[in-house]
Amino acid sequence: MMIGETPDRPLRGSSGVTGSRGLGSLFSLAALCAGLALCAQTPAYQTPPKLVVGIVVDQMRTDYIYRYWDNFGTGGFKRLCTGGAFLRDAHFDYVPTKTGPGHASIYTGTPPMHHGIVANDMYQRATRATRYCAWGPDSISGVGAEDRIARRSPANLLASTIADELELRFDRRSKTIGIAIKDRGAILPIGRTGDAAYWFEGGSDGAFCTSTWYMTQLPDWAQRFNGERLANSYLGQTWDLLLPRERYHTPLPDDNPYELPIPGASSPTLPVDLKAIRTATGRTKVIEWTPWGNTLTTDFALAAIAGEELGADAITDLLAISYSATDWLGHQVGPRATELEDMYLRLDQEIARLLDELDKRVGAGNYTLFLTADHAVADVASYIADLKGSAGYPDMVALERGLNAALSKAYGPANWVRRIINEQVFLNDSVIAARRLDAGKVQRTAADHLLRDPIIADALTATDLTINQYCEGLRRSMQRGFMPQRSGDVVFVYRPGYFEAEMPGIPKGSEHSAGWNYDTHVPILFYGHGIRPGNVLRRASITDIAPTLSMIVGMTMPNASTGAVVTEALVR
């Protein structure tokens, strides 16, 4: 008899009686039937979700869920937290924690040392210039916008993503689409072989665009969407608080010395006349700093679901959504601002709207969704310093001057430092070669000088990071974010609370880049098909998302994935 077949006749005990041995046989029969039933069930990976939805909230800290909880509605963050698996101790475990590396790490399941996106802007020794992480080669042109904005691609990405593997799993029949205000938030999740990425061009029409890496013209549904000019419509209003002011969670008044105004506004306070800014600038770009940047993102995502019929058949599709406005605003005002909480309360409504539409179009239980962030953010350093906390802003001019002086003293006068960027020092390799110096020794001298600075927690040379293996703490994070061909000669980390000012010389606004908890600790929420609800309290890595989704879909993990499957979150 094959497993799962029904026997021709009842099973009986060998004695044919109903005594103790007969009861034992009945118990055996019950156990056998239960086992047969389990064997007959279709494994979860053979019935994958119709649609995987990835949501990245740019610059979201886990504590926002706790702080804003009582002001959230029931259909957004609360629905995901109570109906899904909430990984409450999830972290990025590399530096620098930036948007490009964050999106790439989430979708590849591996850190920058393997996928190659080591920063948003990566310094190139050969050209002595930076290359943008979503740079497009000269062969790429913009579609739906001018090349300056739309000539973008995933060409710098060196590892496969969830989207790439999904395309292979279903023989190129999956539809894989990325959407964001920021181009890098749309492009990097979809990898090099995904179908499409769309981002906001911020011009007078407020359109979404793409590049010839993906297509030669926008699909009809995207053209129709752009024709509605929704960005202009949203910018015809005034931004004021959604709730009474006393409901918001902040120790600061709205008018305080720690915030920068959004571009075009006269002060960092609400209300803001968005129509006046739109009229004065002639562009729609200001929407990127407002809650309606997120609304517009949801609008376009819903248009893509309908236009591409995502999740309409048994072939698993992927929709990667990144909400960028939270980051643009967060840099200006920091994590304690009334404006930021107001944006999150409105984002909560957008997530509820998205979930409701997914239920209607794809069907509740037919999709798997995750929500996370590409990094978190530090408190405004001047605010913490005013509270007598340890925080501040490094003097970058003095840092570079001192480093040049130390190297000149050791090896003779020269312009030793080419560039300091992303907490990495790029030394003048031409001078090192011309003087026939040992590059490792010059790096060591530079690192030792940096370590004398009381606001620098650690500094490692490229040689250190190449030949040693660091298994814990900051040094592990430094190594996981380091790639010899794209990183500096010396990597350093500031002490907690210290970071380069958003605007040089102005102690306002906030930043992210460090390996400390305020930058690394982000939420991970899994929801829907294949997910077991509950809290996961052990330490988890952002790189665990991709392998966990691979188990649900039943596909190969991204090729460089190093994360672990979150077994507690899966129905088994």
Looking at residue 482, which CATH number applies to its domain?
3.30.1360.150
Let me know whether 427 and 544 are in one domain.
Answer: no
For residues 419 and 343, state if they share a domain: no
**Tally of domains in the chain:** 3
Residues 351 and 449 in one domain: no
Strand 272-273, strand 238-239: pairing: antiparallel
pLDDT greater than 50 at residue 245? yes
pLDDT tens-digit map of 483-531 = 999 999 999 999 999 999 888 889 999 999 999 999 999 999 999 999 9
Residue tagged 């409450």 (tokens):
88
125: which DSSP letter?
A: T
Q: What are the Cα distances from residue 208, in Å, to 25, 200, 308? A: 68, 4, 16
Strand bridging mode 176-180 / 196-200: parallel
d(C-alpha 160, C-alpha 137), whole Å: 19
Helix, strand, or coil (residue 432):
helix
Q: Which residue, 462, 494, 526, sits at the end of a domain?
A: 494
**Which spans in 45-160 are helix H?**
63-68, 77-83, 99-108, 112-115, 147-150
Give the confidence band of 481 by pLDDT, cuts at 50, 70, 90.
very high
Q: Report the largest interatomic distance among the alpha carbons of the chain, rounded to a whole angstrom.
A: 102
Q: Say if 503 falls within a structural domain.
A: no
Confidence band for 41, pLDDT divided at 50, 70 and 90: low
CATH number at residue 137: 3.40.720.10
99 flagged as catalytic? yes
Residue 122 lies in a domain: yes
- Say whether 561 sits in a helix, a strand or coil: coil
Give the domain extent around 127: 50-384+514-569
Asked if residues 570 and 532 have their Cβ atoms less than 8 Å apart, the reply is yes
Tell me: do 210 and 337 sit in the same domain.
yes
Element (H, E) at 462: helix 462-467
Shared-domain flag, residues 60 and 183:
yes
Q: What DSSP line would sit under 25-42, residue for residue?
A: HHHHHHHHHHHHHHHHSP
pLDDT confidence tier of residue 44, bands split at 50, 70 and 90: low
Residue 272 has pLDDT above 60, yes or no: yes
Q: Is residue 390 part of a domain?
A: no
509 is a domain residue: no
132 and 99 within one domain? yes
pLDDT at residue 9, rounded to an integer: 29
**295 and 159, same domain (yes or no):** yes
Tell me, yes or no, whether 25 and 158 share the same domain. Answer: no
In a domain, 211, yes or no: yes
Residue 14 confidence class, pLDDT cut points 50, 70, 90? very low
**124 & 262 share domain:** yes
| Residue of 62, 99, 176, 295 with catalytic role | 99
Name the nearest CA neighbour of 497 among 451, 539, 456. Answer: 456
Indicate whether 362 and 412 sit together in one domain. Answer: no
Same domain assignment for residues 170 and 99? yes
In a domain, 365, yes or no: yes
Task: For 328-394, give the secondary structure using H, E and C.
Answer: HHHHHHCCCCHHHHHHHHHHHHHHHHHHHHHHHHHHCCCEEEEEECCCCCCCCHHHHHHCCCCCECC
Cα distances (angstroms) measured from residue 99 to each of 54, 229, 513, 538: 15, 27, 9, 25
- Between the CA atoms of 294, 506, 119 and 441, what dihedral angle is there, to the nearest 10 degrees? -170
Residue 507 belongs to some domain of the structure: no
How confident is the prediction for the chain on average, in pLDDT?
93
Establish if 504 belongs to a structural domain: no
What per-residue confidence (pLDDT) applies to 98?
Answer: 98
Please name the residue that has the structure tokens 């129709």. 224
- Looking at 494, 523, 550, the residue that finishes a domain is 494
Bridging pattern class, strands 417-421 and 534-536? unpaired
Question: Residue 502: its pLDDT value, please?
Answer: 81
- Strands of 417-421's sheet, edge to edge? 417-421, 424-427, 490-494, 456-461
Q: Average of pLDDT values for 109-121? A: 98
The token duo for 228 is 């509605």
Pair (326, 419) in one structural domain: no
